[in-house]
A and B are shown apart, each in its own frame.
Chain A
Amino acid sequence: MTASFRYRVGLLVSSACIMVVAGCGRSNAPAKAASGAPGQQAAGKPYKVALILSGSGTDHGWNQDAVEAVHDVQTALSLPASSISIKEQAVSPSQQQDNLRAYAGQGYNLIIGHGEEYQAPALHMAPQFPNSLFVISSGDKMAANVTPIVFKLEDGAYLLGMLAGGMSRTGKIAEVGAQEIAPVRSVFSAFALGAKAVNPNITILHPVYTNDWEDIGKATQATQPLIQQGADVIIQDLDSASQGVFNAVQQASTAAHPVYALGTNNNQNSAAPGVVLASAPINCSPVFVSIAKQAEAGTFKPTDTPYGLPQGVIGYIENPALASRIPASLQARIDAAEQAIKSGKLVVPMKTQ
């Protein structure tokens, strides 16, 4: 055999192989008929709940809240520990899809994908698993057995905006986000709306994005120039990296010229008690428990109604250590707005695009 012959054979074998592989497309398995409502308790079988997280379950934020909420579901439905399964660090799309499929295949009744990234794969595979209910945190689309949970963080962001507008001495406030994606943009626009409701002349600096949910250093570097430009109240939507904003604010804040930060997604008031004025936390527990109870009974219908301040899923918590600095008149306006949102008199718009 000559070398060039071997090259030709190698080329032939590899191209033939690739041609064959490319020639067979995938066919989606046909839908099965459902027995009962999606997520309903099957007779004689244990009720099983799964939670899939794209990060660590101990992140003091988005994921940890979901872990605690799933344990509340366990208590509320009096399930044994073996009925609850939590998959952490499903970072890549392949892991996310693998876990959705594996749980559904093992007959889990309720499968919670904690993040918008689970939506498209869940919608795609849901018809194959009609007895499982797929719950997508921060999703926005529905199917027979797929339901989104629309968190209306905007409710909390609006109140934070009012607080920022009232507390700023320089008349400049700023926003730091991790990624310029629709949910973050929407939170920032609600924040701006709240600020303008209190101070129509307030300047909101152009939002800065760090492209990193984890990197504290990048968050600090992004915040410092904003403070130098005169911003003295800063909101962030950064998850684990938010400590970076707090660090920068702590360094810059003095008694003569106080600079404040605001917390989102979690109660971050204790993360930097000297500078975090208030937080708008997400609390998954009421919505997880409510969906699980209805699903178990077979009465749950997928819904895209947002869960906000009125449902107790979004909160607004002022930092008790700094509460004395908030003027009574401003506090009264914020309290009134909170009540108006809760009663439905004031509806904060959600910017979906």
Chain B
Amino acid sequence: MNKICHRFYGGMLLSQEKWLNKMAAQGWRLIRTKKLLYEFEPCEPNQFEYRVEFIGEKSPKNAQDYASFLEDCGYRVFYKNINLNYSVGKMVIRPWAEKGGRISTSTTTLNRELLVVEKQRDGLPFELHTTYQDKLAYYRKLQRPWLYFFFSFGMVGLFLQHWTLAAVGSVALIPVLLYQITIYRLKKLAWQQEQ
């Protein structure tokens, strides 16, 4: 019998990944995702493992191309939303995205900002990004939307002396700092390996 869970992780990619891997360790394989819903079917414990990747900066064409590439590599992919957005016909401007992805609509990349990637366990490590250069680029990509959020709300709030707006914007500094720490650690590791 299938299991349905309702969860919302928002931008907490690692927590979502850990939970999916915990479910897989208990013998549950992901078969469907919706905004708040995850549906699982029974499988062998630890038969599958998951990674959650942010693709919100990609253009619709590149996001589809990347998902197809992962499928060609033998993985199963599920799209997932990073925000809770129930509006129809909404348009979002993403200045931090790549060319072609800066205007996101509900028919393109809106509510499809994450990819849940499933791999059948084969004893080999499962990492989507393996070089320091690529990992750094990925974490910078993750940091950018939060930086924009901080500048657009936090700085405008400070400028207008609208303290609620400034406080909301300042919350974005937490993920900015956390990603900056990861970037710093990766740079240090890359430097140590070069020595």
Chain A bound to chain B: no
